[in-house]
Structure formats: C-alpha cells, structure tokens
C-alpha cells in the first residue's frame, strides 16, 4: 500500500492555525512571542498531545514533538516556524510544521514501523521581524548563539525576549544546544516565482544565500522646514533616501549583491514641516557568494561615510544578522529529487532566496529542503498562496523522505 497523507486534515489545520492572528485580508500576524504566537503554539501543542507525541520545550521556546514518546535515539526531524512577519501569509513556516505533524500522524495511524524516531519542531522567532536575528530559535538549538545572549535581545519597544518568552509560558526547561537529530528536512513554500514560472511542482533546494542585516541610525538636526536654507540643512531623511538608492544601484552592478532592501524607515520627529533630525533604517542584503556580500557591506560603509561628510550628519551602523551562505548535503538534495520523481512530479534544483531554520540545522546534521510553488511568487504578504494540490504533493514528498531516512 502506498503511504499518503490525509490532505483534507492538513488543509483543515492550515485554515485553523490561520484563524489565529487573522488580519482579515487573508493574511496572518503572529509576531514572535506575542499573545497570538502563544495561541498558535497552544493549538499545535494540543494537536501533538492528542497524537501522543512527547512534547519538549527548551530554554529559547523551541517546541519539539517526538514519536514514539519514549524514544532516546536521534530522530529524523522536520519542522519550521509558526511566527509570521506583521503582514504575513498562512503558508510561510506553517506549512512545514503542519505537514510535519501530518507526516507523523500518518505514520502512526498507518502503523508504519521505523527504525528511528520521528520529530517535528516549531522554532522560535524564525522571522526575526520582532527580535533580530532571524532563525533565532534554530540558531540557539544548534549552539550557534548562547541562550543567555538570545534571551537578552530586545524588540523596538525595548521589550526583552526572555521576559516575553516567560510571559507567554514557553520558557522551557530543556537546555540548548539540543541533542543533534539524525537528519533534518523542511518543507516550505518557495516564496519566489521560479517553480511556478517553470511549471515545476517540487524544488530540491541546493542551498541558501548569505544574509546581512544592518540597522543604520542617521543623526542630523531637526529644524524648521520653511526657514532653514537648503545648504544649511543636516537632513537625516535625505541621507536615508540616498542610502536606499545606493543599495539599489549596487545590485545593478555585476559585482553587487543579488538583492538589497531598505524595508524599514523611521523618521523623527516625523512631521510635515520639520527637517528630519534622525532616521533609522534597515538594510537587508543577500547573496549566494559570501565574498560578494562582504564586499557589498564594505561598499555601503564607504558610501555611508561619504554621505555623512556631505550632509554633516553622523551615521551609526549595528549588525542585526549575518549568516554565511549554506550548501545543503548533496545526498539530501539527490534524495529529494529522487522521491519527487518517484511521485511523478516535475522537479528542479534551486537555491533559496529566503532564510530558513534548515540552514541552522545544516550546521549539525545532514539537512535538506523541499519547496512547493508560491502563486505569483508572492510572500510576506497576505496574498501568499500555494495551491492545494501542491501542498499535498509537498507533504507526500516529505512523508516519503522521512520514512526513508528513518528506515
């Protein structure tokens, strides 16, 4: 008998999780460690408990559900995240977690006997939109950052991660780094246009591009918009705009980074008739080649110094995240491809533009990722959508991958 997930149950759970933090426009807002993140976690923990999984919560709030509950061997692990950006969709992260749960439920209800335990993980604060860096929970899981350091991170309002984690009741007893899994596989929506535009159902992900996040604070002089002559201005808003343009221009050069984004810009005092005295912006740059990314960081530092001198402002830069590019285990990439072909799907190799928990797990165990198409390549947007047949195809590929790795 061919093993298949219960697609209706999976679609039902995607909808039920999406009802928590529903933004009313098809999207989701479950920023990390908010009340809605807690409600989403509570729902997943209920489902895991009903299935008889062993639930473990660690000091950074990662939740794992393991089957059999008394397993001691390193498990074949899958997972992802259920936190979202403020204007998120219902698939990013959620699919990997819910499909993982579905895989384990299928194995249990079908009475499949495996040599290794299975585990599904929900990693804390993958998005990093509230507490930078991104992939924080999985970073701490593998020992890439000490728990104490992570718990001290603050959000924009000065709220401390450790306090927020305790407030929602997910500061768990298990220490980090956690025990190393046997292998890790993550199903995720592509969040880009490649699979859809090539008519491909499954992506065998080869790696993840490097990420550089910086917060840039520009301090000039707030002054009257009507009376201050242009040549006497120290305009932080102007410099912020020039930095955004310089980053875009850098991507247009042959040696520039693949992508660059100024996604956040706060001006102070933020008034129609006052020259901005302070600007705080974020710069996200990514490339598959770490040397290109490093050169882009250097280039932007030089540009900032020139702009600061020209406009008589000061510029301070703080690193929010810096992760090198990751190449996934070649055997895992091949296995994803083989399984997709056996299932009769079109498949292609592609790198990931987005960051994922799998890039952290790749530091400690063979790791791989399965992508399914995103309609219109839209993500981090309420309109994010993946067709039901692609959700089902991805979940069945994940099922077979986990079974093979656990046999």
Nearest to ligand GLV of 181, 355 (CB atom): 355
Q: Is 92 in the site for Mn ion (CB under 5 A)?
A: yes
In angstroms, rounded to a whole number, what is the distance separating the alpha carbons of residues 276 and 225?
A: 9
User: Of the listed pieces 46-54, 93-101, 254-262, 333-341, which binds Mn ion according to CB under 5 A?
Assistant: 93-101
Q: Is 93 in the site for Mn ion (CB under 5 A)?
A: yes
Nearest to ligand GLV of 186, 196 (CB atom): 186
Q: Is 125 in the site for Mn ion (CB under 5 A)?
A: no
> Which partner, Mn ion, ligand GLV, none, binds residue 5 by CB below 5 to 8 Å per kind?
none
> Which partner, ligand GLV, Mn ion, none, binds residue 355 by CB below 5 to 8 Å per kind?
ligand GLV
Minimum distance of Mn ion from residue 355's CB (angstroms): 8
Closest CA to 328 of 173, 183, 193: 183
> Which partner, Mn ion, ligand GLV, none, binds residue 105 by CB below 5 to 8 Å per kind?
none
Sketch the per residue contact string, 303 through 342, with ligand GLV: x for CB under 6 A, - otherwise: ----------------------------------------
Binders of ligand GLV in range 134-173 (CB under 6 A)? 134
In angstroms, rounded to a whole number, what is the distance separating the alpha carbons of residues 93 and 224?
A: 47
The alpha-carbon radius of gyration of the chain (Å, integer) is 22
Minimum distance of Mn ion from residue 139's CB (angstroms): 14
Contacts of 342 (CB under 8 A, 6+ apart): 400
Nearest to ligand GLV of 47, 213 (CB atom): 213
Nearest to ligand GLV of 276, 354 (CB atom): 354
Contacts of 95 (CB under 8 A, 6+ apart): 14, 80, 187, 188, 189, 372, 386, 391, 394
Residues in the chain, how many? Answer: 407
Q: Is 127 in the site for ligand GLV (CB under 6 A)?
A: yes
Minimum distance of ligand GLV from residue 284's CB (angstroms): 7
Q: Kindly state the tokens that stand for 214.
A: 């910086």
In angstroms, rounded to a whole number, what is the distance separating the alpha carbons of residues 391 and 371?
A: 10
Identify how many contiguous H helices and E strands the chain contains and give both numbers: 12, 15
3 state DSSP class of 341 = helix
In angstroms, rounded to a whole number, what is the distance separating the alpha carbons of residues 92 and 82?
A: 8
Cis peptide before 65 (omega within 30 of 0): no
3 state DSSP class of 187 = strand
Sketch the per residue contact string, 352 through 371, with ligand GLV: x for CB under 6 A, - otherwise: --xx----------------
> Which partner, Mn ion, ligand GLV, none, binds residue 134 by CB below 5 to 8 Å per kind?
ligand GLV
Q: Kindly state the tokens that stand for 69.
A: 């509950």
Q: Is 382 in the site for Mn ion (CB under 5 A)?
A: no
Judged by the rule CB under 5 A, the positions of this chain that interact with Mn ion are 92-93
Q: Which residues bind ligand GLV (CB under 6 A)?
A: 126-127, 134, 354-355
């Amino acid at each position: 008998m061919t093993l298949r997930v219960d697609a209706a149950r999976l679609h039902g759970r995607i909808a039920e999780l999406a009802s928590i933090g529903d933004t009313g426009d098809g999207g989701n807002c479950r920023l990390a460690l908010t009340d809605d993140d807690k409600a989403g976690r509570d729902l997943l923990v209920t489902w895991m408990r009903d299935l008889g999984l062993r639930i473990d919560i660690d000091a950074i709030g990662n939740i794992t559900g393991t089957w059999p509950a008394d397993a001691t061997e390193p498990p074949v692990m899958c997972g992802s995240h259920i936190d979202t950006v403020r204007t998120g969709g219902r698939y990013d992260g959620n699919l990997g977690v819910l499909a993982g749960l579905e895989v384990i439920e299928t194995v249990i209800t079908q009475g499949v006997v495996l040599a290794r335990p299975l585990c599904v993980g929900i990693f804390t604060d993958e998005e990093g939109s509230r507490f930078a860096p991104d992939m924080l929970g999985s970073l701490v899981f593998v020992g890439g950052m000490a728990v104490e350091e992570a718990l001290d991170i603050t959000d924009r309002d000065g709220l401390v991660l450790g306090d927020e984690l305790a407030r929602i009741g997910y500061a768990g007893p298990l220490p980090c780094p956690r025990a190393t899994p046997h292998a890790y596989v993550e199903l995720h929506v592509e969040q880009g246009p490649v699979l859809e535009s090539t008519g491909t159902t499954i992506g065998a992900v080869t790696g993840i591009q490097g990420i550089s996040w910086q917060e840039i604070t520009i301090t000039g002089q707030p002054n009257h918009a009507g009376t201050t002559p242009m040549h006497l201005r120290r305009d932080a808003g102007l410099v912020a705009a020039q930095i955004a343009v310089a980053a875009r221009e850098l991507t247009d050069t042959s040696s520039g980074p693949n992508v660059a984004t100024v996604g956040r810009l706060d001006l102070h005092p933020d008034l129609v008739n006052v020259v901005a005295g302070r600007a705080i912006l974020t710069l996200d740059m990514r490339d598959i080649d770490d040397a290109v990314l490093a050169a882009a960081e250097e280039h932007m530092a030089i540009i900032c110094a020139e702009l600061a001198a020209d406009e008589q402002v000061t510029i301070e830069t703080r690193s929010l995240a810096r992760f090198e590019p990751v190449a996934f285990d070649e055997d895992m990439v091949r296995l994803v491809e083989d399984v997709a072909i056996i299932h009769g799907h079109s498949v292609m190799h592609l790198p990931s533009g987005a960051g994922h928990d799998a890039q952290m797990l790749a530091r400690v165990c063979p790791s791989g990722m399965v992508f399914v198409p995103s309609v219109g390549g839209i993500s981090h947007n309420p309109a994010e959508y993946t067709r039901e047949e692609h959700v089902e195809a991805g979940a069945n590929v994940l099922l077979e991958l986990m079974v093979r790795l656990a046999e």
